[in-house]
Amino acid sequence: MIELRAVSKTVMSGGDPLVILHPLDLIVPAGQTIAIVGPSGSGKSTLLGLMAGLDEPTTGDIIVDGTEITAMSEDAVARLRGEKIGFVFQFFHLMPSLTALENVMVPIELRGGRDAAERGRALLGEVGLTGRAHHYPSQLSGGEQQRVALARALANDPPILLADEPTGNLDTENGRHVIDLLFAVHDRRDTTLVLVTHDVELAERADVRLHLRDGRIARREEAGRSVAVTG
């Protein structure tokens, strides 16, 4: 479960404060899938980054799986992330100097896991890339890179999976393949899944859709019913 209490984000831009996110409250229950949608610059990725502890909120508290992360040190948040959160990026962000398998092994090794290679191979099998284990990212197609990234995100079997435009950089077919994988994983492992996306088809499959506009939640859609939120 992820809980945000009165979370806001303001940055300095050219000497002036710029509000990216206005104070908002949000609860994502365990096992739920939620899609955050909205135009560019509406604050979607910032919101996702805050949930992952990649950034600190200007105000408010964030509680991830029962742990309040706002007051934690950067390294402590990193450890928590390694344990509880898997992250998938639009641009895959695989480490170019590592093979597919090694990329998947990194989070397991970071936690001191002994069976990293074995688990890494199993995860690559789960995303259908058994034969590509020893290829470097530059030798893989975009779809394949994203599947490796997904396998890496699942490496420590995290209860929470966050994805930032996971299909934004893929063609329709590869995009669908990745979406199918994401939801299959959700179904199999009952993970909490938060997606930032422009992809209507992908957003449609989520339990909840959160529409962001100018740093505020404009609308919340839940399995057929839509609630306008005024903030």
Partner 1 sequence: MLFICRMTLRELRAVWRRLLFFFLCVAIGVGAIAALRSVIQNVRSAIAREARTLTAGDLVLQSNQPLEAGLRDRVVRVLDAADVRGRAESIETATMVRPADPAKAMARMVELEGVDAAYPLYGTVTLAEGHRYTHRLVHGWGALVRPELLVQLGVSVGERIVIGRGTFEIRGLLLSEPGRRLGGFSFGPRVLIDRADLLEIDLLRFGSRARYVTRLRVPDASLARLETQLRDLLRPALVSVRSYRSTEDRIGDRLETSENYLSLVGFVMVVLGGVGVWSVTRVFVRQKLKSVAVLKCLGAASGQILAVYITQVALLAVIGSACGLAMAAIAVPFVPPSAVPDLESIRLGLTWSAALQAGGVGVLTSLLFALVPLLEVRRVKPLLLLRDEAARLSLAVQRPRPMGAGLASPGIARRLANRLQRIDTTQAVVASLVIAALVGLAAWQAGSLRVGAAVSLGFVGVTLTLSAAASLLVRLVQPLASSTWFPLRHAVLAVSRPGNQTRVILLAVGLGTFFILGVRLVEANLLRELAIELQSDAPDMFLIDVQEDQVSPVEAFARKWRLDGGIQLMPVLRARVVGIRGRRLNAGSPEEVRERGGPSREYTVTYRDHLASNERVVAGELWPAQQGSIPDVSIEQNLREDGLELGDLIRFDIAGRVIAARVTSVREVDWSDARNGGFMFVFRPGALAGAPHWYLGVLRAPAHTLARARFQRDLVAAFPNVSAVDVREVLRTLQAIVSNITLAISVVGGLALASGLLILIGAVAMTKFQRLYEAAILKTVGASGRTVATMLAIEYVTLGALAATVGASGACLLSWFVTEQVFDLSWQLLPGLVAGTIVVVAFGVGAVGVAASVDVLRRRPLGVLRAE
Give the footprint of partner 1 on this chain (CB under 8 A).
11-13, 15-17, 40-41, 45-46, 48-49, 52, 54-55, 74-75, 78-83, 87, 89-91, 93-98, 102, 106-107, 109-112, 138, 152, 156, 164-165
Closer of 20 and 221 to partner 1 (Cβ): 20
Measured from the CB of residue 7, what is the shortest distance to partner 1 in angstroms? 15
Measured from the CB of residue 224, what is the shortest distance to partner 1 in angstroms? 31
The tokens 């300095």 sit on which residue? 12
Closer of 83 and 214 to partner 1 (Cβ): 83
Is the CA virtual torsion 124, 154, 170, 145 positive or negative? Answer: negative
Return the SS3 of 104: helix
Phi, psi (deg, nearest 5) at residue 156: -100, 20
Q: What angle do CA 164, 40, 150 make, to 5 degrees?
A: 10
The tokens 């979370």 sit on which residue? 7
Return the SS3 of 92: coil
Measured from the CB of residue 114, what is the shortest distance to partner 1 in angstroms? 9
| Pairwise CA distance, residues 222 & 84, whole Å | 25
Measured from the CB of residue 30, what is the shortest distance to partner 1 in angstroms? 20
What's the number of CA atoms in the CB half-sphere (13 Å) around residue 81? 20
Measured from the CB of residue 228, what is the shortest distance to partner 1 in angstroms? 25
Closer of 17 and 66 to partner 1 (Cβ): 17
Closer of 52 and 206 to partner 1 (Cβ): 52
